[in-house]
Structures are given as C-alpha cells and as structure tokens.
Amino acid sequence: MPHSSYFDRDLSWLTFNYRVLEEAAREETPLLERLFFLSVYCSNLDEFYRVRIPAVAALQKIKATREDYISAAGVQLLTKISSRINSQLENFGRLLTGQVLPALRQKGIHFNYRQPIPASAMAAATGYFLTQVLAFLQPVYLSAGGAGFFPENDHLYFLIILDQDSPGEELVILNIPSDSLPRFFSTSEGTTHHILFLDDIIRENLTYVFPASVISSVISFKISRDAELDLEDEYQGDIAEKIEKRLTKRDAGLATRLLYEPGAPIRILESLIKQLNLEGATTMEGGRYHNLRDLAGFPVKDPTLSYRPWPATGRNFDHRPSLLQAIMEKDILLHVPYEAYDPVLRFFNEAAIHPQVEGIFVTLYRVARDSRIVHALISASRNGKNVTVFVELKARFDEANNLRWAKKMKEAGVKIIYSIPGLKVHAKIGLAKKRVDGRVHYCGLLATGNLNENTARFYTDHILLTGNHELMRELELLFIFLSKRKDPRKAEKIAFQYLLVAQFNLQDRFLALIDREIGHAREGRSASMIIKMNNLEERVLIDKLYEASQAGVRIQLLIRGICCCVPGVSGQSENITIHRIIDRYLEHGRVFIFHNGGQEDIFLGSSDWMNRNIYRRIEVCFPVYEPRLKAEIRELLRLQLADTVAASPITAEGENTIADPAPAARPIGNDAIRSQEAIYQYLAELRNDPPTRN
C-alpha cells in the first residue's frame, strides 16, 4: 500500500494512548494497576480534548491559530480522530466491564458500575449523602434565570428533567461535587467491599433535593474547554500578573466538547446547547460516568493487587563531607526512578549552606507542590547566596503552582526571571558557583526531566552532576543570557561549542551529527544511530533521518508518544526501526547515540524533536564524556531495544489506522525481556546493591 512520508501527529498520539489501554488488558498487570492504566488513558484523552481538538476544529473556521494546522484538511482529520476515539472508547468499555470488574469481584471487591446500589449498602450510602454530600449540592433552574449558568471545565453535572403540575418540563442542572468530595465511597459487608460512585449516591437520593417534584430523567454530562491561555508575545508589562489574570479565566475558555450520557432526548440536548452557548462544541455520546481518570483514586489499597515495590538503589555519598567536592572529582550520572533522587536534593541543600558557594542558578519548569528544591533555594537566599531562578510561567497546567512558588522565592530575596514572550524555557539545568582561594569553580546539574522529586518516583530520567569546566562555563553564559529575557531568535547568538541549545545551535548540531553518520556510510564504514525521545514530529530532522536511511545508516528509534516518522518504507526508510515502550514507569529520558566510526558520541537532554522544542523553546542537550557513564547509557538502551514485553513496533501501517483492534494481552515466554525490570536489576548489581525482591 502507498505510504505518506509522515504520520499525522494526532492519530499517532491516539495510537500511543491506546497502548496505555493495552496495559490495562494485560492479565499479568496487577489488578489495581489495570485500573490505574484505565485512569491514565482517560486523563490523557481529556487533555487531548482541551489542547489538541481546538487546534483541529479551528480549521473549520479557516482560523489557523494553533500549531501545525494550516490547511482545510483538518475537517477530514477531525472526522478520523472522532472515529478513532469512538472505537477506542468501545474497547475501553468492554475491557472494564468484561475483564476488570469481574476480576475485582473475584477478590471480594464489588465495584458498582451501571448497577443499582445494593440494598445492603443503601443505608450507608444514604447516610453519607445526608451528612456529607448534600452540603455541596447547588441546583440551577434554567427556567428561573439559570440560562446565565456557566459550567466549568471538566466538572461533572446532572441535567435533571422534572415533571411539573403546570404545562411543560423544568430543566435543572445539578453539580456532582467530585472536586470537593472523593469520587468513590466504600462500605463493607463482611468480606465484601462495595465501591460506589458519588454520582450514583446522588441519583438514588434526589428526592431529598426535589421533594415536591416528579423526576422524569437524569442525564450526566460534562464540558471540556480550550486550555490555551492565549498570551500575547509582548515584552511590556508584568507577565506574572497577566498570566495570573488569564488563569482565572482558563476554565471559562471556549467549549470544545459536550459529553453526555446515552439516551438523552435530542430536544433536551438542543435546549441545553442553546441555553449554555455550546453551539461550537463537538457533541459526543459517552457513558453513564465521565472523568474516569478518577479511577486513579480507587479506594482499595492492597499490596497484593499492585506492582511489587522496586526500592530505589541508593547512591550513598554520606561518607563524603561534601557532595559538591565529589562532583568536582568525578561526574555522577543518576537514573531515576531506579536510583534514589537524594543526590539531587543534597546538591541544592549543600549549595544553600556551603560557605564557598556564592551563587546558585536554576531553571524551573514543573516543580513539586511542596518542593524541597525550592525550599533549599529560599534558604540559600536567606543565607546570603545570590540565587537566580528562571521560572517558566507558561508550563501548561502548572502555571498556578509555578506562580505561587515564584512569589515565595521573590519574597525571600531570590532573583526571579520570568518567561520569555514567544518562547518557553524547557531546559532542566542548575549551577552552583564556588569561590575557592580566589578562583571560581562550578558544579552543575543537567537533566532530561524536571527538577521535581515527586515525578522522579515514576518518570524515567537521567541526571548528570558534573564539574566539567567547559560545560559549566557555557551553562553560566546561558543563564546570563536568560537573565536578559531576550528572544535569542532576534539577539546575538552565543557560540556554544559543547552544549546543544535550542534557538542557538541544537538543530544544526543534530543535523551535522546525522550528516557525519551519512558520510561514514558512504565511505563504507559502519554507521548507526540510536535515539530515544518522547515525541518525534519536526520534518527537517525526519527528512534527515530518511536521507541517512537511504545512505545505509542503521537507525533505531525509541519513541514513547507522537511519532511522525514512517519506518520501513522501501527507498525512504527501510533502515529505520521504531519501538514504543509503555510500562509501569513513564519513559521520559531523551538519549542520542551516534556511532561515529566507533568513537561514539552520546548526548542526553530535555529536547524532543517536536516543532515546539526546535522552534519555540529553549532546550539543552549535553554530552556524556566519561567512558564508564557512556557504557551505562549504552547498556540501558540495549536492554530497551531487546524488550519483548512492553515494547511494541511502530509500523508503516499501524499509526494511521481508523479503528484499533480490541486490546489483548500478549503472551510472555520464559525468554521474555521486560526492559524496565532488567534495568532495575542491572543498576542494582552495578551499584553493588542486589535487588531485595524475588
């Protein structure tokens, strides 16, 4: 069959999300983890509707206001996307009701899904409703001026039809307060545990809310809204104040989807759409329950039904009086979450109080809600250090948290640099500047993932702690540039020799590295690349990969999410193979290995090859020099490329399909390799800390 040169990014993303659903279908996945994967699938899909669907739908109005969509082909694309999602949701429902719920029931866990509340649980449910739930219910009568009611983004509601004594019907919107109360209520009867939806508890007790009315129908619904803040690319004014004001309006964004329970009468839906001004939204029939991402909070805690813990391997530097001095002597490479995050926390803690440290510089993109790193930066400032923090206020869905921490740091005397208009600073870098006997020394941190001790527990990332003078000097130059808040696309460039920095040299350096492999191949020498990223979209780099493939360069790609590169096409990409790994940890590290005739170059970094990373962000990728650390990276990727369980191939036929096959567990043989488990064992043995599990 003929193949396009590029996969569509949104259809490719839907394939990735379907792989998440497939993890829930694996019988060997622990039961509560299967529920978790179902919740992740739903959470991802909700974000897709907030972020991507507005971009596609804009084409129907010939309004190319979002990235990547400029042609009217978006109308056809929207149809394909809807068909794909509908197919996936049907499989989701069959998986949940046909496999997961029966498996729970066998364990004595009765998850009440689309069933009346059992009589044995009704008294407890009604008591909970009267004492806890009723206080949060706020009915809105549309006939009594409720037409001005504004449903918030992704909040849950009932549309209730009341039969009145007078002619006509009364439409009432009633909130389901899952933002204030747990989505699930549990009650036990002997060894049986009943898990009830908050929604169903409210349904069963509506006579307490409408005692004088006959309830004709109850229809659940929710509305998704555009998540973009639409900040203008300008330099004047207080950007923090502008973002803070925009955040208050985010949930009032343009409605992109109305999701409603099956069986809703057309005339009622039309009335709801008209009264709530939803004419521009996509209307979709969903299930009885929405926001099933809440399954992540399923109220059962049973270690036997969850993944067996993998205790993080400790990198114990307690015997060293100074971690900063240890870094000056030898580079340290951490692989989280397999290894403990403690050295990162100690790096900032020690820098905050070390008498020879005079300055600390760091970029923050997504930080923990109670960030120990930020607390250390605040202490450093109060301890007399010069602390400079670049806070990216445009990190989607983390703007409020970043803004809150920025204010606290500013109050403590930290120099805060806010976002550069038109760009996001996505680099994950930190620098401590020491003065010893009048001479300046640097200790630095460069990472593939955010400086966030919470996500470090389940995102796989690599963190280099180094005192390499050339790298650290260039890192300082970048921080000096960032402090000026200039747009590097319009300002004088820094001639980075060692770091690869987007908006300066990153794309050109990657193109040159690929060209070098092409040169080796054309000269008859061995030529290969191994590249691991979250997403691959940017066409200049994809075209260069195609050119390398045609020259005979062997290219192995590990792409977790969006992949627009089409592998295995004769005359275009026959030397390219691509795999996607979905497992208990979220694959997040970016790794670039270039064979270079046996003189391997290895880079790690924050940058995917997406349009946004290449053209609209400041990213930093960095070389790994020490042979022992390069050997570690090489072995980690060897294990991932050998994965026969969690890895699935991306093929020329697979990414653009309209309908997915029903998810099914793949058989696992005795010789199967699950790379994350293998990596955990490898690192434990490497650090002389054998795994404690069986």
Q: What is the CA radius of gyration of the chain?
A: 27
| Pairing mode, strands 601-605 and 620-623 | antiparallel
Burial of 304 (0-12, 13-18, 19+ CB in 10 A): exposed
Q: How far apart are CA 61 and CA 68, in angstroms?
A: 15
Phi–psi pair at 374, nearest 5 degrees: -65, -40
Beta bridge partners of 507: none
Residue 110 among the catalytic residues: no
Token look-up 């045609």 returns 550
**If we measure between CA atoms, which residue out of 401, 355, 387, 85 comes closest to residue 244?**
401
Q: Is 634 exposed, middle or buried (0-12, 13-18, 19+ CB in 10 A)?
A: middle
Q: From the CB of residue 138, how many other CB atoms can be counted at a distance below 10 Å?
A: 9
Q: Is the dihedral of CA 478, 479, 484, 486 positive or negative?
A: positive
Left, alpha or beta for 599 (phi > 0: left; psi -120 to 50: alpha)?
beta
Q: What are phi and psi of 287, to 5 degrees?
A: -100, -170
Q: Which residues on neighbouring strands pair with residue 86, listed in sequence order?
A: none
**Helix 539-550 and helix 506-522, axial crossing angle in degrees, nearest 10:** 10
C-alpha 335/C-alpha 363 separation (Å) is 20
Q: Is the distance from CB of 389 to CB of 407 less than 8 angstroms? A: no
Question: What is the CA angle 513-514-516, rounded to 5?
Answer: 65
> Position of tokens 């004047």?
236
Q: Distances from the Cα of 445 to the Cαs of 327, 434, 495, 550, 559, in angstroms?
A: 10, 14, 21, 38, 25
Q: Strand locations in 42-153, DSSP E?
A: 109-111, 140-141
Options 194, 354, 375, 426, the catalytic residue? 426
How many CA atoms are closer than 13 Å to the CA of 646, on its beta-carbon side? 22
- Residue 435, strand partner residues: 440
Strands 576-581 and 554-559: parallel
Rounded distance between C-alpha atoms, residue 645 and residue 669, angstroms? 9
- Please answer whether residues 180 and 198 qualify as being in contact, where contact means their C-beta atoms are separated by less than 8 angstroms: no
d(CA 264, CA 78): 24
Q: Which residues are catalytic?
A: 426
